[in-house]
Chains A and B, each alone.
Chain A
Amino acid sequence: MIKVENLIKAFGPKLAVNGVSFTVERGEVLGFLGPNGAGKSTTMRMVTGFIPPTSGRVAVGGHDMVEDPLPAKRLIGYLPENAPAYTDMTVAGFLGFAAELRGLRGEAKRQAVNRVVETCFLEGVLYQSVDTLSKGYRHRTCLAQAIIHDPEVLVLDEPTDGLDPNQKHEVRTLIRRMGEHKAILFSTHILEEVDAACTRAIIIDRGQVVANGTPQELRQRSDVAGAVSLRVQGAAGPVVAEKVRQLPTVRKSVVLKEEGATVWARAYPQAQARDGEVEQSLFQLAVRENWKLGELHVEEGRLDEVFRAITMPDTGRAEKEVTRA
């Protein structure tokens, strides 16, 4: 539904977006991750037709956004950054206005407004002026505007920004559910949202896509992905680390934490180690040394670590040195 090819946006000499390409199909929720200033909002503004690209192409539902904007815009619902809304209107008036611009009149308009009011929990503030709304309600009002015509494509710029934890959870659930039948592109800098709502994620940094994959695939790029963590009692930290490192399947080991008699350690497998081999040898080691094994699990990898390593290469390396010591 959304097809973006080699998108470039220059503000003066500065390239805010530099050669971004991706597609979002129906049934997909694409998370758009990146640090502040990475170019997420600028990309979304080009996708929704608010600003024209310096070069590159955006097509929504097969309609080129520059050549043929109206049919493309009809397919999109858009929640801009900071959820702008006309402050001189009531919530009902604002939603009615959005419905009319979407071509809904009379009974269809009334039904559409009722539907989004229910979906976004706006009954209580329906006749309240938008400028008296709390941030959470204003956000939901703007979100309601975006889904009023039940669009096939949703573009949401930081939809959970400024919401409290319950509201964040509600919005993520809503995004995931709507994503079953729509093509959704949403940006965030909160990593847990990728797991909570996305089928795929793109990491963008300084205007360029630096990673693209399912949350699972991204996690596997993490340094700790595949490492085995264990918790044992019966020996001091350095002893545990040394014995673990001497196993033929282990490349490197670290003590994560030591508290009283309990040691938390992590073993990094050799490149040629087969599935389950490290766990097995660790288990046997514990039996041999008569350690009390409290916990043993394979790390899936951590998104925040991948994110940091990719978007801040220098600090990422520095922190890795620390864990090795």
Chain B
Amino acid sequence: MSSTSITKSPSALAVSAAATHPSPLGNILTIAKRELAGYFASPVAYVFIVIFLLLAGFFTFMVGGFFERGEASLVSFFVWHPWLYLFLVPAVGMRLWSEERRAGTIELLLTMPVTAWQAIVGKFLASWLFLALALALTFPLVFTVLYLGHPDLGVIFCGYVGSLLMAGAYLAVSCMTSALSRSQVVSFIVSVVVCLFLILAGWPPVTNMLVQWAPPWLVDGVAGFSVMPHFEGFQRGVLDSRDALFFLSVMVFSLFTTGVIIRSHRAG
């Protein structure tokens, strides 16, 4: 193709010798970096962040009655997060594997010297970081309540931690559904349905209805799958390790299932 020999010239040998075997963490970071850069390569990322902030503001001030509450807290902000994430998180997660499969790049990625779980974790971390960034950009709210009164910063911190964990759980679910289909739209819809279940299973209006005809142990069992009771504590400023564990297990389970789905596609 050119006059440069690409066979084993001395410099080429030097290149091979310089290659070290990257650690699993190194691979995860390389993949995460690429994925994160992928978000910002298109205007979609900025559009997403703007929509997130606008919606968060709208719910907090207009629907949640931030000022009418007459207290310096972010309750009216966090209470909407399970619903806000219902559509926004699948929108962020839908492309993770669907796009790799549609474009065929999954074949490049998985024939590199990386394991499937490194790729899964790397991609998940990148999109979680992206969501964390969007969440962090709500910081003016914190300053607002600080200006208005004397909020309990511990409670606010807890709310943010809980919100981030919940976003991670939704995101892992989206990651799993995006491995199911080449189509981002399909993976978005399936993800919204699953996340909706995670909300409704423990949402008081639904559980109150269930109690009418189902035995209490069943209602509690179903509600145990819901994000609602587990996010509740964080909003009140209670850092319960069992709640954190719930979100983490949703993530681990979903990412593990993602790996199973990807493996089954390849097995044909």
Contacts and interface: CB of A to CB of B under 8 A. Distances in A.
A120 B1 contact: yes
Contact of B6 (A74, A101, A115, A170): A115
B12 A150 contact: yes
A36 B176 CA distance: 33
Contacts of B267: 51-52
Interface string B205-242: 00000000000000000000000000000000000000
A246 interface: no
Interface residues of B, number: 41
B15 A111 contact: yes
Contact of A103 (B8, B20, B111): B20
A121 B107 contact: no
Contacts of A142: 108
A134 to B, nearest CB: 16
Interface string A98-117: 10111111011001100110
Interface in A73-116: 73-74, 76, 78, 80-82, 84-89, 93, 97-98, 100-105, 107-108, 111-112, 115-116
Interface in B74-116: 103-105, 107-108, 110-115
A80 B104 contact: yes
B110 to A, nearest CB: 6
Interface in B1-26: 1-2, 4-8, 11-16, 18-22, 26
Interface stretch (B37-45, B164-172, B179-187): B37-45
A51 B266 contact: yes
A45 interface: yes
A89 B34 contact: yes
A108 to B, nearest CB: 3
Q: Is the interface of A mostly helix, strand, loop or mixed?
A: mixed
Nearest to A41: B107
Contacts of A171: 1
Given A78-B111, A84-B108, A149 B27 contact: no
B244 to A, nearest CB: 33
B111 A76 contact: yes
A221 interface: no
Interface string A27-38: 000000000000
A150 B8 contact: yes
12 contacts: A9-B268, A45-B107, A49-B110, A70-B113, A89-B41, A101-B113, A102-B113, A111-B11, A174-B1, A177-B5, A178-B6, A178-B7
Pairs A-B, 5 closest by C-beta atoms: A108-B18, A84-B104, A103-B19, A88-B41, A170-B1
Interface of A: 9-12, 45, 48-52, 70-71, 73-74, 76, 78, 80-82, 84-89, 93, 97-98, 100-105, 107-108, 111-112, 115-116, 118-121, 129, 142, 145, 147, 149-150, 170-171, 173-174, 177-178, 180-182
Interface of B: 1-2, 4-8, 11-16, 18-22, 26-27, 30-31, 34, 37-38, 41-42, 103-105, 107-108, 110-115, 266-268
